[in-house]
Amino acid sequence: MPTVQKPEGHIPFRRKLGWTAGTLVLYFFLSNVLLFGANQGSDIFGQFRSILAGGQGTILQLGIGPIVTASIVLQLLGGANLLGLDTDDPRDQVLYQGLQKFLVLVMICLTGLPMVFASGFLPADPQLAQALGVPLSVIKWLIFAQIAVGGILILFMDEVISKWGVGSGVGLFIVAGVSQKLIGGLLALPNLGGQQPGILVTWVEIVLGDISVGSPLTGSGMQTLLFGVGSVVPLLTTVLIFCVVVYAESVRVEIPLSHARVKGARGRYPVKLIYASVLPMIFVRALQANVQFLGRILSSQLGTDLPQWLGVYIDGRPVDGLFYYLNPIHNPQQWMWWAGSVTQEPWQIMLRVIVDLTLMLVGGALFSIFWVETADMGPEATARQIQNSGMQIPGFRRNPQVIEKVLERYIPQVTVLGGILVGLLAVLANMLGTIGGISGTSLLLTVSITYKLYEEIAEEQLMEMHPMMRQLFG
């Protein structure tokens, strides 16, 4: 499979920033290039769009969805030891990366073809087909070719940033998309591109008397201030999520280390509370997005013939059945039955909340374990890395098995707790709302990725200032 060549030797920090900034500019450019021959349709990913990045009706229609889905498949196969590949072997590493790219191409076809030909969420322009004198199917194949090229481009853009830039391409694309919505949710002007005015702009209009919210002492007035026009609760939720994630990133168990040969050389191996990071949450939400994608495909094809126990759809949204209960809560209006914004019974809404919370907690813990094991962050792999670096735990024999037993006291428990905490925060953020209407998972990912990016930039600057540190960090 084609691949981006690895750099030979050290890359200066400024050049890494240049590659990263250039790739981000290309990403923003492609996310605003509309598909030729396609009429604007509804976004089939809906509320999952901020997680999957990309843009509706653009070349990056699929976003990072194929990459994430292919990673999920490889995570499951690797966790079950069905691949038979040793990631420490350079040859197996090449095979693993080639297999991942092949699966990305497969996922592009499995996602893009139904989107264009079956569902009608990217309808072809019949007037263009008539003007060109070609069948409508030719225009559909042209649309699919464009989104397939976009999926391949975002794959290699991610690889460019991973090898030549700073951080991860997938993470940066998520941060870029969410940051746009955050800034828009704060500062957007009224009647700007059909977007709701930002919170700060809205409060200026409320203070000036241009917007009436009624008496804050009444139930309706209080609800308008907290969840409606005032959006006080979403603002506080966003700030709280920022603070909690940054604090959780700093909470860690530090295992003391000492060099076996160099006296006085000491260090610490940090086991963070969010040890597996927030990235496993992408896997959980991506699975839910694929389930909802399947439901909308079935609904568009079967219509009223779709069994009611499987799903009942109105205007492309599930309102009952299995697909309704598997659809996550995205905003406060979807569970506040007393506000009259939903038609479901209270027990149906609470069942949906319980299902969403259970999937996020259990899925967050399971995918965190898979991530730790497949990313060589488990006790065995970490003990081997400590042993190879010449370090040991003071007071214990210099043996990988001994180090592994010490790490087993912390890493598995912290991994599960971190996954559960992140899942809980994601559900609460969705239920209370956030600035710009982004999902709680997207906000968690943005804060966590930005924090890790800050750490990587600090490390890069440290190595630029002290060339000897490059040898120490390998």
Task: Output the CA–CA distances (angstroms, integers) from residue 337 to 228, 349, 429, in the order listed.
Answer: 15, 8, 18
**Averages of pLDDT over each 10 residues, the chain, 474 residues:** 82 88 91 86 67 82 86 74 73 83 91 80 85 89 93 92 86 84 78 68 76 65 65 82 84 80 72 79 80 84 82 83 88 76 83 91 86 79 80 77 85 88 86 79 82 82 63 54
Burial class (CB in 10 A: 0-12, 13-18, 19+), 47: buried
pLDDT at 80: 65
Characterize the bridge pairing of strands 317-320 and 391-392: unpaired
Q: Measured between alpha carbons, how far is 78 from 72 in angstroms, rounded to an integer?
A: 10
Q: Are 48 and 289 in contact (CB under 8 A)?
A: yes
> Angle CA(240)–CA(242)–CA(247) in degrees, nearest 5?
95
Whole-prediction pTM value? Answer: 0.74
Amino acid at 61: Q
Q: Which domains does the chain have, with CATH numbers?
A: 9-166 (1.10.3370.10), 234-474 (1.10.3370.10)
pLDDT at 152: 93
Task: Output the CA–CA distances (angstroms, integers) from residue 296 to 64, 119, 120, 320, in the order listed.
Answer: 20, 8, 10, 13
pLDDT at 106: 92
pLDDT at 182: 84
Q: 354: which residues sit within 8 A by CB, 6+ positions away?
A: none
Q: Are 286 and 65 in contact (CB under 8 A)?
A: yes
pLDDT at 428: 86
Characterize the bridge pairing of strands 391-392 and 312-314: unpaired
| Look-up of token digits 């994630």 | 245
Cβ neighbour number for residue 142 with a 10 Å cutoff: 19
Q: Are 86 and 189 in contact (CB under 8 A)?
A: no
Q: Measured between alpha carbons, how far is 157 from 111 in angstroms, rounded to an integer?
A: 20
Q: Measured between alpha carbons, how far is 360 from 211 in angstroms, rounded to an integer?
A: 38
Q: 293: which residues sit within 8 A by CB, 6+ positions away?
A: 44, 45, 111
Q: Mind giving me the DSSP string for 202-248?
A: HHHHHHHTSS----TTSHHHHHHHHTSSS-HHHHHHHHHHHHHHHHH
Fill in the DSSP letter of residue 273.
T
